[in-house]
Amino acid sequence: MTSPAKPPVITPYRRLDPKTQPPLLYEPYRASVERAPRKPLILLPQTLSEITGPVYGHGDIQATDNDLTRQHAGEPQGQRILVTGRVLDDAGRPVPHTLIEIWQANAAGRYIHKADRNAAPLDPNFSGTGRTLTDAQGHYRFVTIQPGAYPWGNHPNAWRPRHIHFSLFGTAFATRLVTQMYFQGDPLIPFDPLLNAIPEEKARERLICKFDPNLTEPDWALAYRFDVILRGREATPFEGQ
């Protein structure tokens, strides 16, 4: 027998409001009918396993990893843009030194992926992938090009709005987030089932970056702001619960 350990002090991460997150099953998103779990999730009080997580990627960032326009011999086609913002927790505190990874289609709406069958050209000067770490105040910045919209098979004449995929780790297994960032004013937004799966309009708007004239750089690039909020911790720990 192993002797009982001292109970760890667990300060759990606050739970998410379901109105602000997409459900697992959303029938207008056809693939969710094939793949979404149907049985209820089992509510798990967070343990040491969930409130820890990988501090990851710090040794693997190269100089051009946050500039998707400088990863090849020439510049990619498309409108050059800056995407910048902060990663914060749900009390507004910065999440410093955390990995952000992005991936996106090129200006014509094509991913450099063998499974992408969209009849649009690849761009030899664009891979569409970037990564960076937030700074001590949670700031990040990418230089890239405006991705194109592209057709997909979800329903007749379905098109994805222009978007950039974001992946973030935060401080724990519990804070991991994969999401997509959309662009203000995109006419395809009201028709997109992935975005419409999120019940609250206000929550959907959190995935739409905002044009920022002050950060836009003269004669060079348009700037968009996109802040990401990760789960934060409860105010008080549970001990020996």
Partner 1 sequence: MDYTPTPSQTVGPFFMIGFAGPLLISHIAAPGVPGERVKLVCTVFAGENQPVNDALIEIWQANAEGKYNHSGDPQEKPVDPSFLGFGRQGTDDLGVCVFHTIKPGRVPANDGSLQAPHLVVGVFTRGVLQRLPTRIYFAGDPANDSDPVLALVPAARRVTLLAQPVPGEPETWRFDVHLTGARETVFFDI
Q: Phi first, then psi: what are they for 72, rounded to 5°?
A: -140, 180
Least distance in angstroms from the C-beta of 131 to partner 1:
7
220: left (phi over 0), alpha (psi -120 to 50) or beta: alpha
Minimum CB–partner distance for residue 55 and partner 1 (Å): 7
Q: Is 139 a catalytic residue?
A: no
> Nearest distance from residue 239's CB to partner 1, in Å?
8
Closer residue to partner 1, CB minimum distance, 82 or 100 = 100
Strand partners, 203: none
Q: Of the listed 139, 141, 165, 176, which one is catalytic? A: 165
Q: Is 163 a catalytic residue?
A: yes
Residue tagged active-site, from 86, 110, 131, 163: 163
Which one of the listed residues 86, 110, 160, 233 is annotated catalytic? Answer: 160
Active site residue 113: no
How many Å is the Cα radius of gyration of the chain? 20
Active site annotation includes 160: yes
In the bound state with partner 1, the residue whose beta carbon lies nearer, of 81 and 175, is: 175
CB of 159 to partner 1, least distance (A): 15
**Nearest alpha-carbon partner for 181 in 224, 230, 118, 232:** 224
How far is the C-alpha of 126 from the C-alpha of 73, rounded, in Å? 10
Q: Of 111, 140, 182, 224, which is the active-site residue?
A: 111
Catalytic-residue membership of 233: no
Classify residue 215 by burial, with Cβ atoms within 10 Å: 0-12, 13-18, 19+: middle
Give the residue with the Cβ less far from partner 1, 47 or 79. Answer: 47
For partner 1, the closer of residues 52 and 184 by Cβ is 52
DSSP string, 61-94: --TTTTBTTSSSSSPPSS-EEEEEEEEEETTS-B
* Residues designated as active site: 111, 150, 160, 163, 165
